[in-house]
A and B are shown apart, each in its own frame.
Chain A
Amino acid sequence: MNGFLPYLYAFVSGGFLCVIAQILIDKTKLTPARILVIYVCTGVLLTGIGLYEPFVNFAGAGATTPLTGFGYSIAKGVREAVDKDGLIGALSGGLTATSAGISAAIIFGIIASVIFSSKPKR
């Protein structure tokens, strides 16, 4: 544990990324699904041009938790795989790096569908 500051940075950075998305939702006609796709692709792009890595070092979970961080994981995984295995790494690296998250979503999703059923809303 290294003090209070990393938490503040994570809070502010994560919050900031959400505010941008909120403004996009309210001010443009972009649907949430489109915004998420934009976020992931932006994460890949920013990682590719070397901007996201420093942001992750600064904001920690504030940068990796939002979906741009998902793009960051994909891009970073692809880069490492290409370094290691050559061109085939462009195909294998992305899913390898994000496999735990995607599998978790699938497995927990299935378990949830067994346990829970949808409820009426108010």
Chain B
Amino acid sequence: MNKGKIVFNNPPKIISTYSCVGSEEQKGPLGKFFSYCSEDNKFGKDSWEKAESEMQRLALYGAIKKAGLCETDIDILLAGDLLNQCVGSSFGLLEYDIPYVGLYGACSTCALGLALGASLYSGGIAKRVAAITSSHYCSSERQFRFPLEYGGQRTPTSQWTVTGAGAFILGDEGRISVKEAVFGISKDMGIKDINNLGAAMAPSCAETIKTYFSEGEKSPSDFDLIITGDLGYEGSDILKDLLLADGIDIRKNHTDCGILVYDRKKQDKHAGGSGCGCSASVMSAYVIKKMEEGELGDVLFIGTGALMNSLTMCQGQSIPAISHLVRLSSSEV
């Protein structure tokens, strides 16, 4: 296998996408793009974990319906979230009689799902693949930080886990295709601050982007948008610095899902959004929409994930990170 860039011989198209988010995301600048917004962040359930599962269920249901397909048309589900043992996905998608693969790539899971889905399609193993990813502020907060009502102060570098889910259905029809991918290598640069995940993830993201450009004839300016998953304000600045030091300039066309999802002035979210629902909802709602409308043609999407859990944090271990890249394109080449 090629350890660098993978070019799909038979790239899948994105048939449909569906996103569902909570109330804070609805109030953000992208509020009107999301397919489904719930005022009730519990999504009618009695626990935050069940709420996250419900988002997964709704996202897949919506995407299948939007594509005009039915359950039996989907060959495989690739789904992931941030909860221990990926229960958000496995419990949420329990009612579907579709082969299920649980993924864990932390916040890079959305890109991982797309890259794997495209591989399965391109290799002729699956005709239609659904990739679903979610995160929930409340369930993440409980698992990784403190109880919700606990009075803590957030540092300026901390990020806010997005309550949202996004589903993509890959197959034969559609304007946008998944052309290329890079599976990242995990990288640990010694950052130990759980409130500065952007800084922990930026080096792995830079590495994956470098791998992509190292063997191609393409340069960053060939893309309409280079969008990272959830580096936030802090991590994005670091990423641009790191890449610039290697002669790759992405300052003009880079943005980050974590930056787009909340209004920095009106919403008190510090360094921006995070979580796998962040890139999943922003990509499936906003970026895909802009691509369908023709505003964006060629997009590099790099999902960034921090691979720690609360035990490794308590043990004082530093935070390894991983970044996966997919190239989405609405052009024929």
Direct contact of A and B (CB under 8 A): yes
A54 within 8 A of B: no
B305 within 8 A of A: no
Whole-angstrom distance between the Cβ of B119 and the nearest chain A Cβ: 37
- Beta-carbon contacts of A12-54 to B below 8 Å, as 1s and 0s? 0000000000000100010010000000000000000000000
B22 within 8 A of A: yes
Whole-angstrom distance between the Cβ of B149 and the nearest chain A Cβ: 6
Q: Would you call the interface of chain A mostly helix, strand, loop, or mixed? A: loop
Nearest-neighbor residue (CB-CB) of B148 within chain A = A118
Contact A120 B22 (CB under 8 A): yes
Q: Which residues of B contact A29 (CB under 8 A)?
A: 192-193
Q: Which residues of B contact A25 (CB under 8 A)?
A: 153
Q: Which residues of B contact A121 (CB under 8 A)?
A: 137-138, 141, 148
A25 to B192, CA, bound (A): 15
Contact B193 A120 (CB under 8 A): no
B247 within 8 A of A: no
Nearest-neighbor residue (CB-CB) of A116 within chain B = B149
Whole-angstrom distance between the Cβ of A79 and the nearest chain B Cβ: 32
B41 within 8 A of A: yes
| CB contact under 8 A between A120 and B147, given known A25-B153, A29-B193, A32-B152 | no
A97 to B149, CA, bound (A): 28
Q: Which residues of A contact B23 (CB under 8 A)?
A: 120, 122
A108 to B46, CA, bound (A): 23
Classify chain A's interface size.
under 10
Which of these, A32, A119, A122, contacts B24 with CB under 8 Å?
A122
Contact B138 A118 (CB under 8 A): yes
Which B residues from 138 to 189 make CB contacts under 8 A with A?
138, 141, 147-149, 152-153, 163
Contact A120 B137 (CB under 8 A): yes
Contact B152 A120 (CB under 8 A): no
A25 to B24, CA, bound (A): 28
Whole-angstrom distance between the Cβ of A29 and the nearest chain B Cβ: 7
Contact B137 A118 (CB under 8 A): no
Nearest-neighbor residue (CB-CB) of A26 within chain B = B155
A29 to B192, CA, bound (A): 10
Contact A118 B41 (CB under 8 A): no
A119 to B267, CA, bound (A): 18
Q: Which residues of B contact A119 (CB under 8 A)?
A: 148-149
Q: Which residues of A contact B147 (CB under 8 A)?
A: 118
Q: Which residues of B contact A118 (CB under 8 A)?
A: 48, 138, 147-149
A121 to B137, CA, bound (A): 8
Nearest-neighbor residue (CB-CB) of B269 within chain A = A122
Q: Which residues of A contact B148 (CB under 8 A)?
A: 118-121
Q: Which residues of A contact B192 (CB under 8 A)?
A: 29
Contact A120 B138 (CB under 8 A): yes
Q: Which residues of B contact A120 (CB under 8 A)?
A: 22-24, 41-42, 137-138, 148, 163
Nearest-neighbor residue (CB-CB) of A112 within chain B = B149
A121 to B267, CA, bound (A): 11
- Beta-carbon contacts of A101-122 to B below 8 Å, as 1s and 0s? 0000000000000000011111
**Partner-B contacts on A (CB < 8 A):** 25, 29, 32, 118-122
Q: List 8 A-B contacts (CB under 8 A).
A: A29-B193, A119-B148, A120-B22, A120-B41, A120-B137, A121-B137, A121-B141, A122-B267
Q: Which A-B residue pairs are the 6 nearest by beta carbons?
A: A120-B41, A118-B148, A122-B24, A120-B138, A118-B149, A121-B148
Known: A119-B148, A120-B148, A121-B141. 8 other contacts (CB 8 A): A29-B193, A120-B22, A120-B23, A120-B42, A121-B138, A121-B148, A122-B24, A122-B267
